[in-house]
């Protein structure tokens, strides 16, 4: 009995190992066939580089970058003055001194991560709003498509190029902040702090990519660049200004009386929390604040049972990531969803030369 | 043993003399000896001052040789009159002369009755009896007011002792003790730690003896002999320390770490160590826990029947975290208690959230990426 059981187990294990061993070559074969299918090698790469070059040469991107750089330097300065003012307050965040650079402010300017949350959508919209329609209006798109390249190379290259520019900008910004912190504070960031800053950067890139994809979709959808830019800004304004107003109205209407039971108050708080979760900027700010402040332990409403016996203390990075994992999942899948939208719209579009 | 000659000289000769002088006083009754205290009781080592009157009842001047006879050899005495050590004394008729006899008793004598005589030779005999009330003490005396003390295992025992030099010479005493292992005995003759003390003859010195029991001493009565010795004499004193049991219990883990990771809603075993740090055995140590709501702590066993003094026992605590606990640190307080004493240990439980929702999120993202891949395959190669 025992021998047969072991043999059986061994057989299944070998089977699974075989499957696992085969899965990687299979994927590699598929990838190679996919890359070789359309055009000569290196075409996509040169398209992306061309797009990146166009971005860096356009005044629009340069102005935006200068604005972002200046504001970030301003908020870095306020963070540094706030750090030297407060000295060392004895809170549990004290061990994560370096992260204060991103979150602290003396009140004259918002802190770094709020700025990124505010300016990031604008950057994404401005990089993508004329991606397709301006080329179409200039007539270069039909010429481009006349070349022997797959059609999706065009939109993929535009997306990847913009993403590269954004990633470059954020890496430069974050490392500027880290460098300035090293110069002024004189202490290096701990590995966990560095990993938190890195995940904050990646999250910011994903967040800007969301708005980028949305504006690329609008640029496919609308023929006039001004219209698509306005549409992007309208969505952004809706989520930053109007949606909170509407949500507040709903919340006020649904507010329980002060004599309501604890259960209904809890459900109401849960409802309010969920209502706010619809906004991508809210998702982003929750995720960043949790990543940059290790003492944040919970985002939603809490019951007394959960609070009892809890003592303040920083969370490890893995737990912080798990805490904001719903928000991260929402942001990433929303970004991918927007990409799918713009991809589908572009691929189904009929492009005629003017 | 006295030999025959000594018997003759010591016993018969004085007796003969008494008989002889008795017969002489009968013949010449003019001189008489008088003292108010012919028989007294004194302790050893005492110095007695007798005043003896030599009275002349006769009509002429009488002269007599006054001697003391039959006094033990180890005793010392002086006989003085008018400031001199006089041997022959003359008294006018009808008058009297006062003599001072000073007898110093040594310390080293037996209890009993001693009789000696003061003689006015050829005239009178005055027998004096000294009753020694007790046996004479040894030459050095080491005493304590309160030789027995009671206290905890951690307390210091301070004994007030007195060392008396009853020898005739100045002595340098070495102070030693025969304490069991682990005990500390400190002598402080003049409020300062010392190992020897010098005492003048007949003088005494207060010596405070500090005794400190070892940290893990068991409850009970202990006798600590202390000694003061010189080359010629020694004195021994037994001090008694009655140690009442102390209760002590400690609650830790075998490696001393008081924090543990736990996943919300899951169980985790903690190894605990209950140590009896007192000096008495502990019976039925009960384990309890103060925990946040929704948490569970079960001990196996939840009551430890017996821990001997100084020993420790390992037990297991199974902690179950609240299913809805938020990530981060929670505190649970574990207590080991007996009616006499208790010990707390605060455990910091770092709660981690289960990965279930994380996997769901990864699944959603993977499906989105899969959709993109499918779109590439479908539309990309047209």
pLDDT tens digits for range A163-184: 999 999 889 888 888 888 888 8
Residue B314 lies in a domain: yes
- In this structure, what is the dihedral angle of CA atoms B217, B218, B221, B224, given to the nearest 10 degrees? -20
Q: Using pLDDT thresholds of 50, 70 and 90, give the confidence band for residue A211.
A: very high
Handedness of CA B254, B255, B256, B262 (dihedral sign): negative
Q: Does A339 touch chain B (CB under 8 A)?
A: yes
Q: Each residue of A281-333: pLDDT tens digit?
A: 888 988 998 888 888 877 777 777 777 778 777 888 888 888 888 889 999 99
Q: Does B364 touch chain A (CB under 8 A)?
A: yes
Nearest to B341 by CA among B313, B307, B314, B315: B307
Determine the distance from the C-alpha atom of residue A318 to the mean position of all C-alpha atoms in its chain, rounded to a whole number.
Answer: 18
ipTM value > 0.85: no
> What confidence score (pLDDT) does residue A353 get?
52
Asked whether residue A206 carries a pLDDT value surpassing 50, the answer given is yes
> What confidence score (pLDDT) does residue B3 get?
64
**Which residue among B195, B226, B243 closes a domain?**
B243
Q: Phi and psi for B291 in degrees, rounded to 5?
A: -135, 155
Nearest to B63 by CA among B83, B92, B98: B92
Question: Which residues lie closer than 8 Å to B290 by C-beta, 6 or more apart?
Answer: B332, B333, B335
The mean predicted confidence, pLDDT, of chain B is 83
User: pTM to 2 decimals?
Assistant: 0.66
Q: Does B332 touch chain A (CB under 8 A)?
A: yes
Residue with tokens 């009442």: B244
Residue A10 lies in a domain: no
> What confidence score (pLDDT) does residue A34 get?
61
Question: What is the total count of domains within chain B?
Answer: 3
The residue of A149, A294, A329, A350 whose CB has the most chain B CBs within 10 angstroms, and thus the best one to mutate to test that interface, is A329
Question: Which residues lie closer than 8 Å to B199 by C-beta, 6 or more apart?
Answer: B163, B164, B165, B170, B171, B173, B205
Q: Each residue of B218-235: pLDDT tens digit?
A: 788 889 999 888 876 778
Residue A76 lies in a domain: yes
> What confidence score (pLDDT) does residue B29 get?
60
B255 and B237 in a single domain? The answer is: no
> What confidence score (pLDDT) does residue A164 get?
92
Residue A199 lies in a domain: yes
> What confidence score (pLDDT) does residue B26 get?
43
Mean pLDDT, residues A154-160 taken together: 89
B236 and B147 in a single domain? The answer is: yes
Residue B366 lies in a domain: no
Q: Of A160-164, B212-216, B277-281, B339-343, which one has max mean pLDDT? A: A160-164
Mean pLDDT, residues A86-105 taken together: 65
> What confidence score (pLDDT) does residue B150 get?
87
**CATH classification of the domain holding B83:** 2.60.40.10
Around Cβ A143, how many Cβ atoms within 10 Å? 11
Asked whether residue A230 carries a pLDDT value surpassing 90, the answer given is yes
Closest partner CB to A311 (pick from B331, B352, B368): B331
Asked whether residue A36 carries a pLDDT value surpassing 90, the answer given is no
> What confidence score (pLDDT) does residue A154 get?
86
Task: Show the domain range for A139.
Answer: 42-305+312-348
B219 and B307 in a single domain? The answer is: no
- Length of chain A equals 354
Nearest to A322 by CA among B354, B322, B267: B354
Looking at the complex, report in whole angstroms how far the Cα of residue A267 sits from the nearest Cα belonging to chain B. Answer: 15
Residue A7 lies in a domain: no
Residue B371 lies in a domain: no
B125 and B147 in a single domain? The answer is: no
Residue B375 lies in a domain: no
Q: What chain A residue is nearest to B293 in terms of C-alpha separation?
A: A305
Q: Using pLDDT thresholds of 50, 70 and 90, give the confidence band for residue B125.
A: confident
Mean pLDDT, residues B61-70 taken together: 86
Handedness of CA B128, B129, B133, B138 (dihedral sign): positive
Mean pLDDT, residues A85-97 taken together: 57
Residue A35 lies in a domain: no
The residue of A29, A36, A277, A308 whose CB has the most chain B CBs within 10 angstroms, and thus the best one to mutate to test that interface, is A308
Residue B361 lies in a domain: no
Residue A36 lies in a domain: no
**Which residue among B198, B218, B243 closes a domain?**
B243
Mean pLDDT, residues A127-138 taken together: 86
Mean pLDDT, residues B316-321 taken together: 90
Asked whether residue B236 carries a pLDDT value surpassing 60, the answer given is yes
Q: Using pLDDT thresholds of 50, 70 and 90, give the confidence band for residue A38.
A: low
Chain A residue numbers touching B368 (CB-CB < 8 A): 332-333, 336-337, 340
B233 and B263 in a single domain? The answer is: no
Rounded to 10 deg, the angle between the A280-292 and A112-128 helix axes is 140
Asked whether residue B24 carries a pLDDT value surpassing 50, the answer given is no
Q: Phi and psi for B66 in degrees, rounded to 5?
A: -100, 125
DSSP E strand boundaries for A143-187: none
Record: contact A150-B382, CB cut-off 8 A: yes
Name the residue with higher pLDDT: A209 or A149.
A209
Q: Does A310 touch chain B (CB under 8 A)?
A: yes
Q: Using pLDDT thresholds of 50, 70 and 90, give the confidence band for residue B87.
A: confident
Q: What chain A residue is nearest to B295 in terms of C-alpha separation?
A: A305
B117 and B170 in a single domain? The answer is: no
Chain B residue numbers touching A303 (CB-CB < 8 A): 324
Q: Each residue of B142-167: pLDDT tens digit?
A: 888 888 888 887 788 899 998 888 77
Name the residue with higher pLDDT: B13 or B230.
B230
> What confidence score (pLDDT) does residue B310 get?
83
Mean pLDDT, residues B280-286 taken together: 86
Mean pLDDT, residues B18-43 taken together: 69
Name the residue with higher pLDDT: B50 or A22.
B50
Residue A208 lies in a domain: yes
Burial bucket for residue A218 (CB in 10 Å: 0-12, 13-18, 19+):
buried
Mean pLDDT, residues A228-235 taken together: 93
Asked whether residue A347 carries a pLDDT value surpassing 60, the answer given is yes
B269 and B216 in a single domain? The answer is: no
> What confidence score (pLDDT) does residue A80 get?
81
Looking at residue B218, the DSSP 8-state letter turns out to be P
Q: Each residue of B361-377: pLDDT tens digit?
A: 889 889 998 988 888 87
Residue A19 lies in a domain: no
Record: contact A297-B353, CB cut-off 8 A: no
Question: What is the total count of domains within chain A?
Answer: 1
> What confidence score (pLDDT) does residue A6 get?
52
B239 and B298 in a single domain? The answer is: no
B12 and B111 in a single domain? The answer is: yes
Name the residue with higher pLDDT: B15 or B55.
B55
Residue B284 lies in a domain: yes
Q: Using pLDDT thresholds of 50, 70 and 90, give the confidence band for residue B324.
A: confident
Task: Show the domain range for B45.
Answer: 4-132
Picking from A140-144, A305-309, A332-336, which range would have the lowest pLDDT averaged per residue?
A: A305-309
Name the residue with higher pLDDT: B153 or A213.
A213
B267 and B305 in a single domain? The answer is: yes
Residue B67 lies in a domain: yes
Looking at the complex, report in whole angstroms how far the Cα of residue A43 sits from the nearest Cα belonging to chain B. Answer: 15
Give the separation between CA A61 and CA B232, rounded to whole angstroms: 110
Q: Using pLDDT thresholds of 50, 70 and 90, give the confidence band for residue A41.
A: low
Give the separation between CA B283 and CA A266, rounded to whole angstroms: 48
B113 and B167 in a single domain? The answer is: no
Picking from A167-181, B26-40, B60-74, which range would have the lowest pLDDT averaged per residue?
A: B26-40
Give the separation between CA A179 and CA A162, rounded to whole angstroms: 26
Name the residue with higher pLDDT: A262 or B285.
B285
> What confidence score (pLDDT) does residue B27 get?
45
Residue B168 lies in a domain: yes
């Amino acid at each position: 009995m025992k021998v047969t059981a072991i043999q059986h187990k061994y057989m299944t294990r070998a089977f699974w190992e075989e499957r696992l061993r085969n899965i990687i070559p299979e994927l590699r074969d598929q990838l190679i066939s996919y890359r070789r299918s359309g055009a000569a090698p290196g075409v996509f790469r040169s398209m992306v580089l061309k797009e990146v070059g166009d971005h860096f040469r356009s005044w629009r991107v340069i102005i935006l970058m200068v604005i972002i750089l200046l504001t970030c330097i301003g908020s870095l300065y306020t963070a540094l003055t706030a750090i030297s003012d407060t000295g060392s307050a004895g809170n549990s965040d004290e061990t994560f001194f370096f992260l204060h650079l991103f979150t602290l402010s003396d009140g004259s300017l918002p802190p770094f991560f709020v700025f990124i949350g505010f300016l990031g959508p604008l950057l994404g919209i401005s990089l993508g709003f004329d991606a397709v329609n301006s080329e179409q209006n200039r007539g270069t798109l039909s010429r481009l498509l006349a070349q022997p390249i797959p059609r999706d190379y065009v939109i993929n290259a535009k997306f990847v190029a913009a993403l590269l520019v954004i990633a470059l900008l954020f890496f430069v910004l974050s490392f500027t902040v880290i460098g300035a912190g090293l110069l002024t504070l004189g202490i290096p960031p701990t590995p966990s702090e560095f990993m938190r800053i890195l995940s904050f950067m990646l999250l910011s890139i994903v967040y800007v990519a969301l708005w980028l994809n949305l504006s690329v979709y609008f640029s496919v959808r609308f023929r006039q660049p001004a219209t698509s830019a306005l549409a992007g800004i309208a969505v952004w304004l809706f989520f930053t200004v109007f949606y909170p107003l509407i949500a507040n109205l709903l919340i006020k209407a649904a507010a329980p009386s002060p004599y309501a039971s604890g259960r209904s108050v809890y459900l109401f708080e849960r409802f309010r929390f969920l209502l706010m979760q619809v906004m991508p900027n809210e998702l982003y700010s929750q995720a960043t604040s949790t990543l940059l402040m290790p003492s944040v332990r919970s985002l939603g409403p809490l019951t007394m049972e959960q609070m009892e016996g809890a003592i303040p203390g920083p969370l490890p990075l893995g737990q912080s990531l798990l805490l904001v994992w719903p928000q991260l999942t929402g942001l990433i899948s929303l970004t991918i969803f927007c990409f799918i939208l713009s991809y589908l719209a572009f691929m189904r579009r009929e492009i005629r030369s003017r | 043993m006295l030999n025959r000659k000594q018997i003759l000289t010591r016993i018969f000769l004085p007796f003969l003399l008494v008989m002889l002088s008795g017969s002489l006083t009968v013949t010449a009754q003019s001189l008489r000896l008088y003292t108010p205290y012919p028989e007294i009781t004194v302790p050893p080592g005492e110095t007695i001052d007798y005043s003896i009157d030599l009275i002349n009842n006769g009509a002429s001047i009488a002269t007599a040789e006054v001697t003391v006879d039959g006094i033990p050899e180890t005793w010392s005495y002086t006989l003085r009159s008018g400031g001199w050590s006089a041997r022959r004394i003359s008294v006018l008729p009808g008058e009297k002369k006062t003599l001072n006899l000073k007898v110093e008793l040594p310390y080293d004598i037996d209890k009993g009755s001693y009789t000696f005589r003061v003689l006015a030779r050829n005239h009178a005999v005055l027998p004096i009896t000294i009753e020694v009330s007790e046996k004479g003490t040894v030459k050095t005396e080491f005493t304590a007011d309160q030789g027995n003390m009671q206290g905890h295992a951690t307390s210091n025992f301070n004994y007030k002792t007195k060392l008396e030099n009853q020898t005739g010479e100045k002595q340098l005493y070495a102070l030693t003790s025969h304490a069991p292992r682990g005990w500390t005995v400190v002598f402080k003759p003049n409020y300062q730690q010392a190992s020897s003390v010098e005492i003048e003859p007949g003088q005494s010195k207060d010596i405070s003896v500090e005794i400190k029991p070892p940290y893990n001493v068991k409850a009970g009565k202990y006798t600590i002999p202390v000694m003061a010795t010189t080359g010629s004499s020694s004195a021994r004193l037994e001090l008694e320390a009655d140690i009442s049991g102390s209760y002590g219990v400690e609650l830790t883990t075998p490696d001393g770490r008081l924090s543990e990771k736990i996943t919300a809603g899951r169980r985790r075993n903690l190894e605990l160590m209950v140590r009896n740090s007192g000096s008495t055995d502990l019976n039925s140590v009960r384990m309890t826990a103060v925990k946040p709501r929704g948490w569970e702590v079960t001990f196996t066993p939840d009551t430890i029947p017996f821990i001997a003094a100084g020993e420790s026992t390992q037990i297991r605590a199974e902690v179950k975290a609240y299913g809805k606990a938020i990530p981060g640190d929670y505190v649970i307080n574990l207590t080991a208690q007996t009616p006499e004493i208790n010990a707390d240990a605060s455990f910091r439980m770092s709660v981690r959230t289960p990965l279930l929702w994380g996997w769901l999120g990864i699944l959603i993202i993977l499906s989105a990426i899969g959709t993109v891949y499918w779109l590439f395959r479908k539309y990309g190669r047209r």
